[in-house]
């Protein structure tokens, strides 16, 4: 290869590497900086050396051959015992090349496996390039580790995606008469530069079908087509777009695009693929946000930190489903717990990077990004923002205002009832107590005093899902939902008894349990594994005591179970009965008596690690001197308590003990009880918040995040503090701007001034929004109910100059939407590109999830920036931008081709035509349902796995292990990672589904009935109606004739109802046709 050839051939490589060269520089510095060459070395040459040569020619070789080191630049240049092996620039003179060519019988390397032709060519090319080699003089310790290089962030900031938005004006064009929007100027200008012209406008029938498909994913009805086609007003097109943007179907369509991007699913994936109850709430949030045209920056902030920005808010909480939508394992072993946690963090940040910023930050888990200016430390600082984030179920009330109103009313109603009761306590209670004491107390001598619990909760399966144990008249507690396997009972009681020495738990039999219990196990068994009791003085004098046990004894027990419950912490041993259907009891004797003057609060915790509790416990205490019998008699708590309290207070009813005395009197005195009835009855009516279980991000654990070498958890390199992408920070104070409250008081004012200029270049009017500062948002439900945007926008006041750390996720949410010194401008570019892609069939950047060097360069950067700027200026509303795109002449082009355009720009990168597109799986299915009249309009709520359901496809449950077949066949992606652009395949299974599935055939039958409701309808008219319903146009005369012939011919082959069935066959063919499945 001569030099001219070489230059020609490497030109592509050099062009490709120009950007690369901007921000990657090799260290150690060699005077010839040749990043392109280094890149070539890393991509093509080093792997060859590592895989084929190092075994014998490196520091790691078991036996170094020929005294030749190929693992350092120095060694390579020095050569081995037979002299120099490499002459840079001259492949033919280099022994290295001769050896790999295998032409010299005495010199063949590698000796056993000849390198491929391509590899040899690469090596030749590399030597011809001058053998660029970024390696140092000392071999890298890890065999395949790339050379150490540093990332030049300042240079990186000059890369197009990370630069500030250009504020270019739409250029002037010659074809001014065709310009409908500023967009057209940008596109036409480029076409004119190449001497090309855009296509003419598509027909009205084509346009309306395109608009429906794009905005709502369902075809227009014949009436809707006619209305538009016959609407002569200049606003006709605009009107169609406005109507569609206002349709609730819009959110179902565009929400689904977003769900692809965020790998939304409703199950865990991995083993067992457990369902995520309440995961659909995120899907619903997305649909509502699109329908309400939520400002996109807020949409993003809520998904990252909605739970922290607006604690308790249903929408903002549901939005964080974004963070935890990724797959997660169903089984974790000790060895894998930590790596899996980093996997989970990786899933969050990779998805966030791809979906919101189109950066492939996930690449930096093991090393600095190979192409983009993203250092590895950024990766760990970013995931550190999620250190305490984990999936949880939030209990959130979608309509708290209903509760608040009801609660206020209830409180108002309740107050007089309480006043009445207090009046009773003042005026009548002393007399009632006196009467009871006069009657000689009637205190029961039984040794066991049954506790009357204030609180009796059951924590189910480790989740904070509380169930109550219901109190029965005999003082026992009934676990009402016995179907569930429960873990822990938490029981709280108060008592004024003194010198308490023991507790007895009776596990009572009950017909409601299997084999009458006393446990919920299949044989009536239970296994109590842990017992813990804490006593806290009621008057606050003295410390709480964790009671130690002296002994435990119980009625006859199951074999092999050691009765050490409460004495050990082993979750395997415990109290289990021997027989079913009998009452059982155990006595827990204390090491020291509980004895508090003024009473004690007893908190008892009973744990059933095996998940098999008893279902009707009765729990009693005994004081010193009582005989502690397993079968001993028990008494209710009330009389003993009253006696003890009155003794404490010398028979005085005081303000302090009044309520407590009244409480116990209610148990033994009917007049006191009656006086309380209005209060207790009204208490039952206390309104409750209508919580929904929302699968969302929650705070758990808060384990620290470390920098990891090569992404491996056994290579920790110190704690990673929260932080963001450095290349996307332009303010000098960097991280602190977002992570520390109050630091930026000064700059906040600068921000607002700058923002004001940006938003209102002409006037000093009020600042509409200040995304970059520290005040949180409010008023969500109002917005989502009414769609009124202004109520949502935050009008914040500059925060006080305190220096508190901001929650890292909140800080991240602010950084990412900060258009002044954070990532906000890139955020805008990325979403604008996605909108453009879905409308135009191709993004301005054709790789919507990757704006990095490896992605495609923007075809119209000025347009992209102009659109992004427009989005920010309009308060981040997507709908107006979409309307702008759709009213452009560019969008309205037809799909035809002229020879000149084809030759100059065959891929339509300049957008001179509107290409046709296959509908996505959801749109195909929804269109089938729609044209057959079977589409249901039920929105929101739990989805379904039933493919035959009439609901829109966005409501099909996304279960990772069980994709709905129709969706899978038509390329719906697996929800494992962010998908920016769906693949479109054309495979036989799609044809099989359309030909043979009962779902499609049923749709054809329904369509046939719509087009031809009665057999006496004229066949040609019915054919025309079917065309109009299915593909939104009338058939040509020729088509009508052909279909007519088919139906008659095919009809004769059926024994009965031939025409009807043949008409269905024809309708099905229409539903299988390209025209149905494609737009344009």
Partner 1 sequence: METKPFNPSLILPTPNRRAFLRRAGMGAGSLALTQLLHQQGLLSSTARGALPQASAANPMAPKAPHFRPKAKAVIWLFMTGSPSQVDTFDYKPELQKRSGQPLAGADPKTGFFTTSGKILKSPFAFKQHGDSGSWVSEILPHTAKFVDDMAFIHSAYTKANNHAPGAFEIGSGVMRPGRPCMGSWITYGLGTQSQNLPAFVVMHETKPRGEDAIWSAGFLPKNYQALAIDSRNPKPIADLDRLQTLTDAQQRSQLDLLGQVNREHRDHHPLETELTARIESFELAYRMQTSAPEAFDIANESAATKELYGVGNKDCDVFGKQCLTARRLVERGVRFVQIFAGRGVGGDGSVGDVPWDAHSNIETNHRSCGKATDQPTAGLLADLKARGLLEDTLVIWSGEFGRTSDSQGSIGRDHNPNAFTLWMAGGGVKGGVHYGATDEFGYKAVENRVDVHDLHATILHLMGIDHERLTYRFNGRDYRLTDLSGSLIREIIA
Cβ distance to partner 1 smaller for residue 496 or 842: 842
Cβ distance to partner 1 smaller for residue 748 or 1067: 1067
Cβ distance to partner 1 smaller for residue 557 or 860: 860
Q: Rounded to 5 degrees, what angle do the CA atoms 930, 934, 935 make?
A: 55
Nearest distance from C-beta of residue 269 to partner 1, angstroms: 5
Nearest to 361 by CA among 383, 338, 387, 341: 383
Nearest to 161 by CA among 728, 842, 723: 728
The stretches of 66-203 forming alpha helices (DSSP H) are: 73-78, 95-101, 117-128, 153-156, 182-193
Cβ distance to partner 1 smaller for residue 4 or 1055: 1055
Length of the chain (residues):
1080
Cβ distance to partner 1 smaller for residue 654 or 986: 986
Nearest distance from C-beta of residue 968 to partner 1, angstroms: 7
| Tokens 């309400």, residue located | 292
Q: Where are the beta strands (DSSP E) in 345-499?
A: 389-396, 448-450, 455-460, 466-471, 477-479, 486-495
- β-bridge partners, 588: 503, 552
What is the greatest pairwise CA distance in the chain?
122
Nearest distance from C-beta of residue 644 to partner 1, angstroms: 50
Nearest distance from C-beta of residue 544 to partner 1, angstroms: 36
- With 0-12 CB in 10 A as exposed, 13-18 as middle and 19+ as buried, what is 862? buried
Cβ distance to partner 1 smaller for residue 294 or 345: 345
> Is residue 635 classed as helix, strand or coil in its secondary structure?
strand
Rounded distance, CA 114 to CA 134, Å? 26
Q: Where are the beta strands (DSSP E) in 747-894?
A: 804-805
CA 942 from chain centre, in angstroms, equals: 17
Q: Which helix (H) or strand (E) segment is 1011 a member of?
A: helix 998-1011
Cβ distance to partner 1 smaller for residue 640 or 963: 963
What CA–CA distances, in Å, run from 465 to 362, 462, 521, 779, 863?
36, 8, 21, 28, 52
Cβ distance to partner 1 smaller for residue 927 or 978: 978
Cβ distance to partner 1 smaller for residue 350 or 743: 350
Nearest distance from C-beta of residue 554 to partner 1, angstroms: 29
> Which one-letter DSSP state was computed for residue 1034?
P
Nearest distance from C-beta of residue 850 to partner 1, angstroms: 3
Rounded distance, CA 794 to CA 773, Å? 10
Nearest distance from C-beta of residue 1053 to partner 1, angstroms: 6
Nearest distance from C-beta of residue 104 to partner 1, angstroms: 23
Cβ distance to partner 1 smaller for residue 491 or 823: 823
Q: What is the DSSP string of 1010-1041?
A: HH-SSTTS-HHHHHHHHHHHHHSSPPPHHHHH
| Tokens 């602010």, residue located | 814
| Tokens 């082993």, residue located | 570
Nearest distance from C-beta of residue 906 to partner 1, angstroms: 5
| Torsion angles phi and psi, residue 998, rounded to 5 | -60, -30
Nearest distance from C-beta of residue 356 to partner 1, angstroms: 13
Cβ distance to partner 1 smaller for residue 355 or 774: 355
Nearest distance from C-beta of residue 988 to partner 1, angstroms: 4
Rounded distance, CA 190 to CA 362, Å? 35
Nearest distance from C-beta of residue 502 to partner 1, angstroms: 37
- β-bridge partners, 457: 468, 490
Rounded distance, CA 552 to CA 630, Å? 11
Cβ distance to partner 1 smaller for residue 472 or 965: 965
Q: Rounded to 5 degrees, what angle do the CA atoms 779, 260, 300 make?
A: 30
* Token pair for 718: 């110190």
Cβ distance to partner 1 smaller for residue 129 or 456: 129
> Is residue 402 classed as helix, strand or coil in its secondary structure?
helix
> Is residue 229 classed as helix, strand or coil in its secondary structure?
helix
Contact 766, 793 (CB under 8 A): no
Residue 18 contacts by C-beta under 8 Å, 6 or more apart in sequence?
A: 36
Rounded distance, CA 536 to CA 543, Å? 7
* Token pair for 348: 């969050």
> Is residue 205 classed as helix, strand or coil in its secondary structure?
helix
What CA–CA distances, in Å, run from 113 to 108, 110, 270, 959?
9, 6, 40, 47
Cβ distance to partner 1 smaller for residue 333 or 803: 333
Nearest distance from C-beta of residue 896 to partner 1, angstroms: 9
Nearest distance from C-beta of residue 9 to partner 1, angstroms: 11
Nearest to 1053 by CA among 1041, 1061, 1044: 1061
Nearest distance from C-beta of residue 991 to partner 1, angstroms: 4
Nearest distance from C-beta of residue 999 to partner 1, angstroms: 9
CA 801 from chain centre, in angstroms, equals: 34
Cβ distance to partner 1 smaller for residue 163 or 1050: 1050
Cβ distance to partner 1 smaller for residue 348 or 748: 348
Nearest distance from C-beta of residue 1060 to partner 1, angstroms: 11
Q: What is the DSSP string of 861-873?
A: HHHHHHHHHHHHH
Cβ distance to partner 1 smaller for residue 344 or 623: 344
Torsion angle defined by CA atoms of residues 940, 944, 949 and 954, in that order, rounded to the nearest 10 degrees: 50
Rounded distance, CA 606 to CA 530, Å? 6
Nearest distance from C-beta of residue 330 to partner 1, angstroms: 7
Cβ distance to partner 1 smaller for residue 105 or 118: 118
């Amino acid at each position: 290869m001569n030099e001219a050839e070489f230059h020609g051939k490497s030109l592509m490589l050099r062009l490709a590497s120009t950007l690369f060269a901007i921000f990657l520089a090799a260290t150690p510095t060699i005077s010839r900086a040749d990043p392109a060459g280094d890149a070539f070395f890393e991509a093509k040459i080093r792997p060859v050396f590592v895989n084929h040569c190092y075994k014998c020619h490196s520091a790691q070789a078991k036996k170094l051959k020929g005294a030749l080191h190929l693992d350092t630049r120095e060694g390579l240049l020095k050569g081995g015992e037979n002299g120099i092996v490499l002459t840079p620039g001259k492949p033919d003179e280099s022994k290295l090349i001769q050896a790999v060519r295998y032409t010299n019988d005495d010199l063949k390397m590698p000796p056993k496996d000849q390198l491929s032709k391509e590899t040899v060519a690469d090596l030749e090319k590399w030597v011809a390039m001058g053998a660029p080699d970024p390696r140092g003089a000392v071999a890298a310790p890890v065999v395949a580790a790339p050379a150490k290089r540093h990332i030049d962030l300042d240079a990186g900031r000059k890369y197009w995606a990370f630069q500030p938005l250009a504020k270019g004006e739409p250029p002037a064009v010659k074809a001014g008469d065709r310009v409908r929007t500023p967009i057209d100027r940008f596109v036409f200008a480029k076409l004119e530069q190449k001497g090309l012209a855009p296509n003419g406008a598509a027909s009205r029938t084509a346009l309306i079908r395109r608009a429906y498909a794009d905005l709502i994913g369902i075809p227009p009805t014949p009436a809707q087509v006619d209305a538009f086609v016959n609407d002569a007003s200049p606003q006709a097109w605009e009107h169609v777009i406005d109507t569609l943007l206002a349709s609730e179907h819009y959110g179902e369509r565009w929400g689904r695009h977003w769900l692809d991007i965020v790998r939304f699913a409703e199950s865990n994936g991995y083993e067992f693929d457990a369902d995520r109850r309440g995961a659909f709430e995120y899907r619903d949030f997305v649909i509502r946000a699109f329908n309400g045209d939520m400002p996109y920056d807020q949409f993003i902030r809520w998904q990252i930190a909605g739970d922290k920005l607006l604690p308790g808010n249903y929408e903002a909480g549901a939005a964080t489903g974004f963070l935890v939508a990724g797959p997660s394992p169903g089984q974790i072993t000790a060895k894998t717990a930590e790596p899996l946690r980093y996997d989970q963090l990786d899933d969050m940040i990779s998805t966030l990077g791809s979906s919101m910023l189109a950066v492939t930050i996930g690449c930096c888990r093991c090393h600095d990004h190979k192409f983009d200016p993203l250092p590895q430390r950024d990766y760990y600082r970013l995931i550190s923002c999620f250190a305490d984030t984990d999936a949880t179920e939030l209990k959130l009330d979608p309509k708290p205002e209903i509760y608040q109103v009801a609660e206020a009313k209830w409180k108002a109603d309740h107050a007089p009832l309480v006043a009445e009761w207090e009046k009773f306590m003042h005026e009548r209670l002393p007399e009632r107590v006196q009467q009871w004491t006069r009657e000689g107390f009637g205190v029961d001598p039984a040794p066991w005093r049954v506790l009357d619990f204030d609180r009796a909760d059951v924590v189910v399966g480790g989740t904070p899902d509380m169930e109550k144990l219901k109190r029965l008249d005999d003082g026992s507690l009934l676990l009402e939902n016995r179907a569930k396997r429960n873990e822990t009972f938490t029981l709280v009681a108060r008592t004024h008894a003194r010198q308490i020495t023991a507790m007895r738990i009776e596990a009572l039999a009950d017909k409601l349990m299997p084999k009458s219990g006393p446990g919920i196990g299949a044989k009536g068994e239970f296994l109590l594994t842990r017992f813990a009791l804490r006593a806290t003085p009621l008057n606050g004098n003295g410390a709480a005591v964790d009671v130690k046990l002296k002994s435990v004894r119980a009625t006859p027990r199951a074999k092999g179970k050691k009765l050490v419950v409460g004495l050990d912490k082993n979750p395997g041993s415990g109290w289990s009965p021997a027989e079913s259907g009998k009452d059982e009891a155990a006595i827990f004797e204390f090491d020291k008596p509980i004895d508090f003057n003024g009473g004690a609060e007893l908190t008892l915790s009973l744990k059933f690690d095996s998940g098999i509790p008893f279902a009707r416990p009765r729990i009693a205490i005994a004081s010193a001197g009582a005989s502690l019998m397993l079968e001993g008699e028990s008494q209710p708590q009330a009389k003993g308590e009253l006696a003890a309290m009155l003794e404490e207070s010398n028979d005085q009813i005081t303000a302090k003990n009044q309520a407590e005395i009244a409480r116990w009197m209610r148990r033994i005195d009917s007049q006191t009880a009656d006086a309380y009835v209005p209060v207790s009855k009204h208490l039952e009516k206390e309104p409750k918040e209508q919580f929904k279980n929302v699968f969302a991000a929650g705070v758990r654990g808060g384990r620290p995040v470390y920098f990891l070498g090569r992404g491996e958890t056994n290579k920790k390199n110190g704690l990673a503090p929260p932080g963001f992408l450095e290349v996307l920070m332009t303010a000098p104070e960097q991280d602190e701007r977002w992570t520390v409250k109050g630091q930026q008081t000064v700059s906040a004012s600068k921000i607002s001034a700058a923002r004001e200029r940006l938003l209102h270049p002409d006037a000093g009017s009020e600042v509409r929004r200040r995304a970059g500062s520290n005040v949180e948002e409010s008023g969500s439900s109002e917005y989502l109910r009414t769609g009124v945007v202004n109520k949502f926008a935050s009008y914040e006041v500059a925060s006080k100059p305190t220096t508190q750390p901001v929650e890292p996720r909140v800080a991240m949410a602010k950084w990412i939407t900060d258009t002044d010194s954070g990532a906000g401008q890139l955020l805008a570019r990325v979403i604008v590109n996605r909108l453009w892609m879905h409308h135009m069939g191709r993004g301005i950047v054709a790789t919507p999830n990757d704006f990095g060097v490896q992605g495609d360069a923007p075809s119209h950067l000025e347009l992209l920036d102009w659109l992004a700027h427009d989005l920010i200026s309009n308060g981040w509303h997507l709908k107006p931008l979409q309307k702008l795109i759709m009213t452009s002449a560019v969008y309205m082009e037809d799909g035809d081709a002229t020879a000149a355009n084809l030759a100059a720009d065959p891929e339509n990168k300049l957008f001179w035509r509107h290409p046709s597109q296959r509908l996505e799986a959801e749109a195909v299915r929804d269109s089938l349902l729609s044209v057959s009249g079977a589409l249901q309009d039920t929105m929101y709520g739990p989805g379904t796995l039933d493919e035959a359901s009439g609901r829109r496809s966005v409501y099909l449950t996304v279960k990772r292990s069980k994709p709905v077949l129709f969706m899978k066949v038509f390329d719906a992606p697996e929800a494992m990672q962010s998908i920016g652009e769906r693949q479109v395949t054309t495979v036989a299974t799609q044809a099989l589904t359309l030909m043979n599935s009962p779902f499609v055939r049923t749709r054809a039958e329904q369509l046939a009935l719509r087009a031809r409701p009665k057999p006496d309808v004229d066949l040609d008219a019915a054919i025309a109606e079917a065309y109009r319903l299915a593909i939104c146009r009338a058939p040509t005369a020729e088509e009508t004739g052909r279909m007519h012939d088919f139906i008659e011919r095919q009809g004769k082959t059926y024994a009965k109802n031939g025409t009807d069935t043949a008409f269905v066959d024809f309708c099905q063919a229409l539903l299988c046709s390209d025209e149905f499945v494609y737009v344009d």
